[in-house]
A and B are shown apart, each in its own frame.
Chain A
C-alpha cells in the first residue's frame, strides 16, 4: 500500500522533472541574421515612423509631379494667392489642396516637385559620398602605413575647410543653378566622415583570422577588400549614408535658400522657402509647407539611421 503510493509519487516527480527540463529548452525557432535585424528594427518605433514618413514623402515626390504634369510651374490666371480648392470652375480636379501662391501656381504640385528635386539631389550626393568614402577609406585602412597617413592628412585638410562656404564657392564659380554642380559640390566635400568610418572598420578587420586566411590562400587585394572586408563593414556605411541623406538635403536647401542652388523657375524646398520669405504677412503658410517637409525628411532620416544602427549590429539582442 505504502510502496504503491511511493511508486506513484516517484512517477509523478519524474514527470514533473522532465517537464521542467523541457521547459528550459529554448523552443523559439532559430532566427537568421536578417530576421533578427527586422525584429530589432520593428522594436524601434521611431525608426519605423521614419521609414513610413520617408516612403510617403518619396511617393508624394514621384506621384504628384507625374499626375499633375506641368502644374507646378503653370501660372493660373486669377488664381494668385487663391485658397485651397479641389475643382476649378470647369469642374476639373485640380489637386490644389494647399491653394495657390502669389503667381497662381498650384502649391501642392509645386511642393511635390520641390520634394522631388531636393530628395533626388540628396540621394545623388549621398551616392558620391559613399563611393568616394569607400574608395579612400578602404585604401587607407587596407594599405595602412604612409598611404594611410597621407590620405588621413588629406581628410584633416578637408575637415578644416569651412564646408558650407566651399560648397557655395564651387556652385557660384562653376555654373550656378546647375543640378550636377550642386550634387558634385556636396559630394566632393562630404565624404570625409564616410572615409574615416570605412578606414576604422578596415583597420580592425585587417588582422582578423579569416582575412589573414584569405591572404594566405593568395587572394588578391581587390578580392579581399570587396569580398571579405567590405560586407562586414557595410552596416556603419549604410547608417552613415542614411544620415547623409538628411545632411545633403539640408545643404541643398540652404544653398537654394541663399540663392546659390537651384535657380530660375525650377522648384526646390530651398527656393520655395527663399520665395516665401517675402510673404511673411500675406502668406505665412508658404513658409510652413516646405519647412515641414524639410524637417520631416531630416527627422525621419535620422530616426531611420538610429534604428538601422541598432538593428544591423549583431551584438544587440532581441528580448522575447
Chain B
C-alpha cells in the first residue's frame, strides 16, 4: 500500500510538470507583455526597460520557465508564487486567504449531495421502473443537461424574484445589518449557491448510485441471501448497499478538484469570494502570476483527486490488491 502511494505520487510529478509547461506556454505564446500595463505616455522608455530587466523578461524563455518553476515549488516561502500584478500581494497568501470560502461552499454542497443522492439513487434502484424511479431518472437527465451557469442563473432568479429576495444571491456576508458576518449570516448567503452546485451533483451521483445498486442487486450472492429467507430490507440495506457504495469513492475523487479550485461559474454568478472568482478576475486583469498559480492549484486538485480515489478504493474494497 505504502509503496503504491509512493509510486503514484512519483507518477504525479511529471504530470504536474506538464501542466506547468502547458500553462506557461499558453502565456508565452499569447500576444502582449506583462509590462504592457505600465505603458502610458508618461512612462519613460528607460523605466520600461528597467522593468523588463527586473522581471527577468529579457532572459531566454527556457530560463524564465526554470526560474519560475524552481521558485514555485518552494511554496513555504512568501514570494514563491510571485506577487500579483494588480494589488502587489503575495499570490500564495491571496490563494490561502480565498481557500476557506471555496472549501466551505464546495464542502457543504458535497455534504448535501451525499445526504440526498445516495437515498435517491437507492430508491430508484430498489423500485426499478416504478413512477418514483421514472421521476428520479427524468430529474437526473434534465439536471444533468442544464448547463451549470444556466442553473445558477435560474436559481438566482428563483431566489431574488420568486422568493422576493428571501435568500441573497450576492456575496458571502451581508453588507450592513446587525448579524453581519455571523455563521448564520454566512449560512443564509450559502443557500442559493449550494443549491445550484448540489442539484448538478445530485443529478450525476443519483444516476451513478442507481446503476451501481442495480448491478449489485442482480448478483448471485443477493439472490442467495433472498433464497435463504432474509427480509427484503436486510438484503437490500445490509448485503447489497455496502457493495454498491464502494464505487462512490471514485465520485469523491472526481469532486475534489472542484472543491480545491472552486466552481468558477457558480462563484461568479453568486459573487462568492472564493478561488474560482479570484481566477476569473485574474484572467480578466491579465494577472499572470495569479493565473499560473490558479492553473497549478487546479492541476494539483485533479491529480490529488485521482490518487485519493484509487487509494480509497483499495481501502474500502478488499478485493483490490496493489
Contacts and interface: CB of A to CB of B under 8 A. Distances in A.
B26 A169 contact: yes
B230 interface: no
B167 to A, nearest CB: 14
B141 A299 contact: yes
A270 B149 CA distance: 9
B302 A160 contact: yes
Interface stretch (A10-18, A69-77, A103-111, A253-261): A253-261
Assign chain B's interface to a size class: 35 or more
B69 interface: no
A291 B157 CA distance: 13
A298 B18 contact: no
Contacts of A273: 149-150, 153
Interface in B141-195: 141-142, 145-150, 153-154, 156-157, 160-161
A165 B32 contact: no
Interface in A253-282: 253-254, 257-260, 270, 273, 277, 280-281
B264 interface: yes
A263 to B, nearest CB: 13
Contacts of B291: 169
Given A173-B30, A284-B161, A258 B15 contact: no
Interface stretch (A86-94, A138-146, A151-159, A220-228): A151-159
A308 interface: no
Interface string A167-210: 01110111100000000000000000000000000000000000
Contacts of A154: 18
Nearest to B258: A162
Contact of B18 (A157, A170, A277): A157
A257 B147 CA distance: 11
B268 interface: yes
Given A161-B299, A172-B286, A166 B154 contact: no
Interface stretch (B41-49, B233-241, B277-285): B277-285
8 contacts: A156-B15, A160-B16, A160-B302, A173-B32, A277-B156, A295-B145, A295-B146, A298-B147
Contacts of A159: 302
Interface in A273-304: 273, 277, 280-281, 284, 287, 291, 294-295, 298-299, 302
A165 B294 contact: yes
Contacts of B265: 164, 254, 257-258
A157 B15 contact: yes
- The 10 A-B pairs with the shortest beta carbon distances in the complex, nearest first, are A162-B298, A157-B18, A173-B30, A160-B302, A250-B147, A298-B145, A299-B145, A160-B299, A172-B283, A254-B149
A258 B145 contact: no
Contacts of A172: 283-284, 286
B88 interface: no
A164 B262 CA distance: 12
A279 to B, nearest CB: 11
B30 A174 contact: yes
B37 to A, nearest CB: 14
A254 to B, nearest CB: 5
B19 interface: yes
B299 to A, nearest CB: 5
Interface string B281-322: 001101000010011001101110000000000000000000
A280 B149 contact: no
Given A277-B153, A299-B141, A299-B145, 8 more contacts: A160-B18, A164-B264, A166-B26, A166-B295, A170-B26, A257-B265, A294-B147, A298-B145
Nearest to A281: B161
Contacts of B283: 165, 168-169, 172-173, 260
Contact of A153 (B14, B30, B154): B14
Contacts of A260: 283
B19 A291 contact: no
B153 A291 contact: yes
B27 interface: yes
B161 A157 contact: no
Nearest to B157: A280
B31 interface: yes
Contacts of B27: 169, 173
B108 interface: no
B115 interface: no
Contacts of B298: 161-162, 165
Nearest to A253: B147
B31 A253 contact: no
Interface string B245-273: 00000000000010001001100100000
A149 B295 CA distance: 24
A162 B301 CA distance: 9
B222 interface: no
Given A160-B19, A166-B23, A169-B26, A291 B150 contact: yes
Nearest to A296: B145
A154 B25 CA distance: 14
Contacts of A298: 145-147
A273 B268 CA distance: 14
Interface in A222-257: 246, 250, 253-254, 257
